[in-house]
Amino acid sequence: MLLQYIAMRVVQLIPMALVVTMVVFFVMMIVPGDPVMVMLGAVEGAQISEEVYNAMRARLGLDQPLIVQYVNWLWNVLQGDFGTSLTYRTPALEVILHRLVPTMYLMVGGLIIAVIIAVPAGVLSAIHNNTKWDHLATGFVILGITVPTFWLALVAILIFAVYLGWFPSIGYTPPQKDFVGFLSHLTLPMTVVALNIAATVLRFQRQDFLEQMHQDYVRTARAKGLSERSVMWKHVLRNSLITTLTVVGLQMAYVSGLITIVETVFNYPGIGYLLLNSIHTRDFVVVQGVVLFMVFLVIVVNLLVDILYAAVDPRIRYR
């Protein structure tokens, strides 16, 4: 039953994945300049004979109808061929994968810390609704949502790197080389990412917990004579964690944007920083690759959340 459900979800994703790749493919069409001339290495206004031009055009497949070009391109992407980076002169996928590890540390670390902060804080502010503690949590949520990330990152650098000197302001060290250096480089960017995600998770956790507290099963659990603590932290929390999971899944698209900004501020060599650098060096093959990669990450994480969701809650599978 679960397998069947997973298969159904994957099949449902296919049209969406097709549209996503079409959007990426056609957006790239608006790159100014003629790719044929670029590949010929011709300067603006240079005289190129028609034969040479047409030969290059045919070699690049640009003489084919647009739809054929798209299918060819998609076929290559599916085989992991994102094209060759114009600046690095290596396959774009290789360049991206190389930068993926630092991003994963930042992203996964940030998500974990965010959940560790936000879930208990959300539960507490729901249980102690309308107290000082709740208002404090609400204040944190408002600040977390409204303060621009890049500015928060700069203020963090100003306070903890420039004034206090506790952490390096920018850069990255691989953990296998120097673990302490790795942690001290990771701390500031990861905190910024975590605080940002935590605000949203806290908000939903609190709201959902408030809703759950008035459900019938809570009354039943109380009537059974369970202690208030066990009702809240075992029964209600377990149910509202499903929501938290969904929220984290839904946040993935946002998180990719967040990562891009944070990595840029901290000169942290992940795929977000790579994206920005490639934009500035006009390496559109890599730009396209990173965008595709991020979108697929979003889709895959949401698929995983769906599957996990169905595994936890059997009602979904029987629909």
Which residues, in sequence order, are CB contacts of 33 under 8 Å at separation 6+?
none
Residue that the structure tokens 């979108």 belong to: 295
**Rounded to the nearest whole angstrom, what is the least distance from the CB of residue 29 to other proteins in the complex?**
9
Instruction: Report the chain's terminal Cα–Cα distance, integer Å.
Output: 11
- The amino acid at residue 220 is T
Contact by Cβ (8 Å): 303, 9: yes
Under the binding rule (CB under 8 A), the answer on residue 142 touching other proteins is: yes
Please identify which residue in 61, 80, 171, 257 interacts with other proteins, judged by CB under 8 A: 257
User: Under rule CB under 8 A, how many of the chain's residues touch other proteins?
Assistant: 67
Closest approach of other proteins to the CB of residue 94, in Å? 21
- Give the Å distances, CA to CA, from 21 to 7, 17, 71, 97, 276: 21, 6, 10, 19, 21
**84 φ/ψ angles, rounded to the nearest 5 degrees:** -105, 130
Residues 3-32 that bind other proteins (CB under 8 A): 12-13, 15-16, 19-20, 22-23, 27-28, 30-32
- Considering only residues 58, 66, 155, 183, which one is a binding residue for other proteins as defined by CB under 8 A? 155
Query: Residue 184 CB, nearest distance to other proteins (Å)?
Result: 19
How far apart are the C-alpha atoms of 175 and 169, rounded to whole Å?
17
Q: Contact positions toward other proteins, by CB under 8 A? A: 12-13, 15-16, 19-20, 22-23, 27-28, 30-32, 142, 145-151, 154-155, 157-158, 162, 204, 207-208, 210-211, 239-240, 242-243, 246-247, 250, 252-258, 260-261, 264, 275-276, 279-280, 284, 287, 290-291, 294-295, 298-299, 302, 306, 309, 313, 315-316, 319
